[in-house]
Homo-oligomer: A and B are copies of this chain.
Amino acid sequence: MTPRRNENSRRAILTAALELLTETGYTAVTIEAIAARAGVGKQTIYRWWRGKGAVILDALTDGLPDVIELPDSGDLRTDLREVLRATVAEFADPRMSATTRALTIETLADDDLAAQVRDRLLRPQLDAVRARLASARDAGQVRPDAPLDQVVELLFGPLYHRWLLRNGPLTDTYADGIVDLTLAAVTPR
């Protein structure tokens, strides 16, 4: 195949994967169905991807920017609440949650896929929050010795924990509460 045909097939495959994901949900998506909708043979997909998880990850990250920048309203609490409310909404959405659950299952059994999901899907988001915390620190709104990597985990960790254990509602109020607790931990005294 020429590079051009490769790229056309690649786009068709990723588009088909994303459409099927939206229409039927992760579990029902198969390599066969992706191939059929994209008008390619199954072997074409297996030549470029190791399995369904890898295709879906590429479909989800295709076209995403490598670097995300968070809105900076000047008020850290407002900006963090916005991010955490959006994340909570993703976890609370049945279809999004099903995709996250299925991808998580695959990453727990596949170190390489885990690294890719982390670095391509999650890392830009975590880095954006870290950068926003750093600018707040420069503005004197976060104490200078706050360990920013851990502060990021203080924000997102509880959401993952609650989603994994299903031990409470995932709501805006919950997101706001986690932001408030985290800010109480890092606001200069």
Contact = CB atoms under 8 A, between A and B. Distances in A.
Interface of A is mostly: helix
Interface in A40-84: none
Contact of A181 (B118, B123, B154, B159): B154
A153 B161 contact: yes
B161 A157 contact: yes
Nearest to A177: B150
Interface in A80-133: 101, 104-105, 107-109, 111, 114-115, 118, 122-123, 126
A158 to B, nearest CB: 4
Interface in A140-189: 146-147, 149-151, 153-154, 156-162, 164-168, 174, 177-178, 181-182, 184-186, 189
B158 A150 contact: yes
B158 A122 contact: no
A168 B149 contact: yes
Interface of A: 101, 104-105, 107-109, 111, 114-115, 118, 122-123, 126, 146-147, 149-151, 153-154, 156-162, 164-168, 174, 177-178, 181-182, 184-186, 189
